[in-house]
Amino acid sequence: MVTMSTAPKIWTRESGLVEKRDVWTAMKRGFRGRCPRCGEGKLFRAFLKTADNCATCGLDFTPHRADDLPAYLVIVIVGHIVVPGVLWIETNYTTPVWISFAAYLPFTLVASLALLQPVKGAVVGLQWALRMHGFDENPPDGIPPV
C-alpha cells in the first residue's frame, strides 16, 4: 500500500491574493478575438490558430485546450436556429426540394463558419478566466503539465 505524505499547506494573505478574472468579460473579449486578459491584443493569428502570446500584455495562449468544444457548441447553436426555421417553412409552405437545399445548406455553412472563431475565442477566454490547464500561475503540486 502506498501512502502519500503531504505537508499541510499554510495559507497566508499573500498566497490568497490572485489576479481577479471575470468570466463574462474574458468570454466577451475572446468572442471578439481579443486577449482575454487585456482585451487589446489579437487572440488568433489565422482563422482557428491562436497566437503564441498577446502582443500587448504578453499572456501565453499556448496552454489552451479548446479541442472540439467550439465545434460542438457551433453545431448546437446553428442547429437550434436552422431546424425550427426549416420545420416552420416546410410545414407552412410547399417548396421544391432544390430550392430548399439551395437555401438551407448555404445558410448552415455560412452560419457555422461565421460562429466558429468567435466561439473558440470565448472558450479560450473561459479557460483563462477559470484558470484551467496552464493558465494558472501556481498549479497544484504533483500534477504534470499538459
Phi, psi values for residue 143, rounded to 5°: -110, 115
pLDDT at 136 (0 to 100): 75
Among candidates 34, 36, 15, which has minimal Cα distance to 25? Answer: 36
pLDDT at 3 (0 to 100): 60
pLDDT at 83 (0 to 100): 95
Residues of the chain with pLDDT under 70: 1-19, 138-146
pLDDT at 95 (0 to 100): 86
pLDDT at 144 (0 to 100): 55
**How does 56-84 read in b/e, with b if 16+ C-beta sit within 10 Å?**
eeebebeebebeeebeebbeeebeeebee
Among candidates 77, 126, 76, 85, which has minimal Cα distance to 104? Answer: 85
